């Protein structure tokens, strides 16, 4: 895994989770995301909630999915930092947009929001300490 060698060569804060821990957290979060985001998309498609409510969920999903290719494929730390900021901001927007329609979906985003908050701080730390690599 060439990407892992590259990632391990970066300067990271001492509190950086191990890659295996990061993978485990995503294994827990992705089912939550699939069920909750899927519910939003189905409800919007069925017109049980306004379609515009699904917009931040689409943005978040796309930004989340392109993070790995940006970070590990392109090895572009500044772009990865910008992308994870989009993930974080769009997640706040998701919670706000869905709150009055389907509260359980908003509550279900809390573990995801906490993880993305930590990951955003971590990404900005890695980006600033490895600028120009």
Which tens digit of pLDDT belongs to each residue from 31-48? 999 999 999 999 999 999
pLDDT of residue 91: 98
pLDDT of residue 25: 97
CB atoms within 10 A of CB 102: 17
Residue 73 lies in a domain: yes
Residue 13 lies in a domain: no
Domain of residue 99: give its range: 23-129
Cα angle: 15, vertex 17, 23; to 5 degrees: 165
Are the beta carbons of 112 and 33 closer than 8 angstroms?
A: yes
pLDDT at 133 over 70: no
Residue 93 lies in a domain: yes
Residue 3 lies in a domain: no
pLDDT at 95 over 80: yes
Closest CA to 94 of 25, 45, 44, 47: 44
* 94/105 Cα distance (integer angstroms): 9
Higher per-residue pLDDT: 96 or 132: 96
pLDDT of residue 61: 97
How many domains, in total, are found in the chain?
1
Residue 12 lies in a domain: no
pLDDT of residue 99: 98
| Mean pLDDT for the stretch of residues 47-61 | 98
- Binning pLDDT at 50, 70 and 90, where does residue 131 land? confident
pLDDT at 24 over 70: yes
Residue 5 lies in a domain: no
Closest CA to 57 of 28, 26, 86: 86
| Mean pLDDT for the stretch of residues 116-122 | 98
């Amino acid at each position: 895994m060439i990407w892992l060698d590259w990632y391990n060569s970066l300067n990271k804060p001492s509190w950086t989770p191990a890659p295996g821990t990061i993978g485990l957290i995503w294994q827990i979060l992705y089912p939550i995301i699939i069920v909750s985001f899927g519910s939003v998309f189905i409800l919007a498609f069925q017109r049980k909630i306004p379609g515009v409510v699904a917009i931040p969920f689409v943005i978040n999903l796309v930004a989340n999915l392109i993070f790995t290719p940006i970070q590990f494929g392109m090895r572009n730390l500044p772009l990865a930092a910008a992308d994870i900021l989009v993930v974080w901001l769009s997640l706040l927007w998701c919670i706000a947009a869905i709150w009055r329609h389907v509260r359980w979906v908003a509550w279900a985003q809390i573990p995801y929001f906490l993880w993305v908050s930590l990951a955003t701080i971590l990404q900005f730390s890695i980006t600033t300490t490895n600028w120009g690599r």
